[in-house]
Amino acid sequence: MSYKDTYEMWLRSPALSPAERAELEAISGDEKEIESRFFAPLEFGTAGLRGTMCVGLHQMNVHVIRHATQSFAEVIKAEGSEAMERGVAICFDCRNHSDEFARETACVMAGNGIKVRLFESLRPTPEVSFAVREYHCIAGVNVTASHNPKEYNGYKVYWQDGAQLPPHHADAIAKKMAELDMFGSIVRMDYEEAVAKGLITLMGAETDEKFLANVMGQVNDKAAVEKVADTFKMIYTPFHGTGYQLIPEALRRLGMKHVICVPEQMVVDGNFPTVVSPNPENPEGFYLAVDLAKKEGADFILGSDPDADRVGIMVKDDKGEYITITGNQTGVLLLDYLIGAKQRTGKMPANPVALKTIVTTEMARKVAETNGLACYDTFTGFKFLAEKKDKLENAGEGKVIFAYEESYGYMLGDYVRDKDAVTAALCLTEMAAWYAGQGMTLYDALQKCYEKYGFYAEKTLNLVMPGLDGLKKMADLMAGLRAQPPVEIAGVAVRAQKDYKDGSVVSVANGVRTSMELSGSNVLRYEMADGTSLIVRPSGTEPKVKVYILVNDATQAACEEKVAKYAVWAESLRGWVPHPNR
């Protein structure tokens, strides 16, 4: 069926409301807009669905939500009656339509005879992972687009371990979506009827308390906070999102007396009126927090993204200015602190392990191994970090004390299998307070880490490739790099070419081909003669190719020089074309 046929089919569907039909009629004659909305369905992957909110096949709306849920319900029903009884936990964030999409998800699950535990109002992402595990659900759904702009929403899916969906289940849902009619296949129960029949149960304060009890179990050194509590000040912002209740509460229970929240951003609002992008990776989003920090004389600033799974911090530098600490640096600081705190307080488990992703700084490995911890890499995404944690611990091969990725995601404890800004905020605040008790800022602590472990620097470049031809450009770039793998980049020899798709490693010097443990992901890595690692991977949730530059050297200046040199090469990939000498 062509995109025009699909458009006409939607127009004729009785499932559309008058407003939805009017929206589609308004684009009649705009071929480009019709094609962009109906050229293909949103692709269902291990991260579920994500897209802009409007009426169409390639968008996020109640019809796509119902269709995805019906397909997911079929996969759950295939697991048997016990799985249906265990049910599904459903959570949602602050975005426009998130509550509506979550309720529709619940109604379709209930219509299929699958029990639902639905949060009564918006909650942080880690709480749905926690709820799946705590209540022994077969699966979970979170309606969120994380840190994306306000136009986006998403449908994030979890399995019974509390981690995001494994590939074979994602494939099964995608297969069902291809088989089932968009409108005619939906089996839905009225919300009030489902509640009355016990198919939908609401979760609220009781689940929050269970979650917070686990969060507080991650405190390592409460005395360090008590020591400075009268004078230590911090600024917190939830960027209009779901962290606005539980994060300040966790910090209060930690013993913090001066948690000053940015009032304008404590207002829950899916339009994110005070920021261009509600992303703690973007320092410009912290402008209100910085102004407040200067006014209050705060020691550091902490912000969580709208669904409270990621957290970013700003600290005072040696000049007294508030500067951004990257996700890589924050993870290194926290890992180093956790090791010291657990050793001081006798809480270090036997055979401790740190986990990171392949695109996360190699400094984390240096910190771990210097302190006697094993360190393992996984593919990007917390489903892989969670899978590795379970595999190691179930085999008795180590106890994971910390797992993180460079994009501001951190996982601690055993009660979630996803990134968790609530627990991370608690531990980061404890760390900042402990260093304050030593007369140090987190900036000072970072410099000490560089002195101890060596100098490292990282940079991620996002090569945005939007539009209908964007996916083709992304695919062509990856195919081209595989067809003509570079032997030299920025005047430096490539020592080894690694392809995580098939797990191959090619030594450029002699052409010897070996294999590595990880395989099955569309990622290329180049190990350079100067010790730099360059990684190229298409994003799984956005129309862009990400290039990661990971360097280390004798000085910070030398690291920055390397980053700048390789960034020029990375930028050149935007216009990549095959060439015999590349």
* β-sheet bridge partners, residue 464: 544
- Comparing 49 with 147, which gets the higher pLDDT? 49
Q: Of 378, 553, 538, give the one whose Cα is nearest residue 471.
A: 538
Structure confidence at residue 273 (pLDDT): 96
Average pLDDT of the residues in 252-275: 97
Neighbours of 145 (CB within 10 A): 27
Is 580 a residue whose pLDDT tops 90?
A: no
pLDDT in tens, 423-440: 999 999 999 999 999 999
Cα–Cα dist 333/428, whole Å: 9
Distance separating alpha carbons of residues 48 and 541, to the nearest angstrom: 9
Burial of 192 (0-12, 13-18, 19+ CB in 10 A): exposed
Gyration radius from the chain CA atoms: 24
- The whole-angstrom separation of Cα 28 and Cα 21 is 11
The pLDDT of residue 581: 43
pTM value is: 0.95
Checking if the pLDDT of 541 tops 80, the result is no
DSSP code of residue 349: P
> What is the β-pairing status of strands 152-159 and 513-515?
unpaired
Per-residue model confidence (pLDDT) at position 576: 67
SS3 per residue for 83-97: HHHHCEEEEECCCCC
Query: Both ends of the chain: CA-CA distance in Å?
Result: 41
- Determine the Cα–Cα distance for residues 243 and 408; give it in Å rounded to an integer: 15
Collapsing DSSP states into helix, strand and coil, what is residue 355?
A: strand
% of the chain surpassing 90 pLDDT: 92
State the pLDDT confidence band at 312, using cuts at 50, 70 and 90. very high
Q: Which residues contact 419 (CB under 8 A, 6 or more apart)?
A: 125, 126, 309, 310, 382, 404, 405, 409, 410, 411
For residue 559, give the amino acid letter.
Answer: C
| 148 has pLDDT over 80 | yes
Residue 251, φ and ψ in degrees, nearest 5: -70, -35
Output the CA–CA distances (angstroms, integers) from residue 6 to 56, 174, 356, in the order listed. Answer: 9, 19, 43
Q: Which residues have CB under 8 Å from 563's CB, separation 6+? A: 457, 458, 459, 549, 551
> If you ran DSSP here, which 8-state letter would residue 512 be given?
-
> Which residues make beta-bridge pairs with 535?
525, 548
Decide if pLDDT at 578 tops 60.
no
**Active-site option among 36, 98, 129, 146:** 146
Dump pLDDT digits (tens) for 211-248: 999 999 999 999 999 999 999 999 999 999 999 999 99
The tens digit of pLDDT for each residue in 400-409 reads 999 999 999 9
Could you say which DSSP state residue 521 is in? S
**Residue 256: pLDDT above 90?**
yes
Whole-number average pLDDT of the chain: 95
Strands 455-464 and 409-411 come out as unpaired
Least confident of 80-94, 417-431, 532-546: 532-546
pLDDT of 543 over the 90 cut: no
pLDDT at site 515: 96
pLDDT at 46 over 80: no
Residue 519 annotated as catalytic:
no
DSSP-derived letter for residue 117 is: E
- pLDDT at 577 (0 to 100): 57
535, 541, 544: which is closest to 164 by C-alpha? Answer: 541
pLDDT at residue 510 in the model? 94
Residue 467 pLDDT grade (very low, low, confident, very high; cuts 50, 70, 90)? confident
If one compares 380 and 540, the residue with the highest pLDDT of the two is 380
- Complete DSSP assignment for 123-188: --HHHHHHHHHHTT-SEEEEE--TTS-TTEEEEEEEETTSSBPPHHHHHHHHHHHHHS-TTTT---
| Structure confidence at residue 469 as a pLDDT band (50, 70, 90) | confident
* Residue 579 pLDDT > 60: no
* pLDDT for the residue 69: 98
Q: Extract the tokens encoding 313.
A: 């911090």
Look at the block and give the residue holding tokens 């910070």.
556
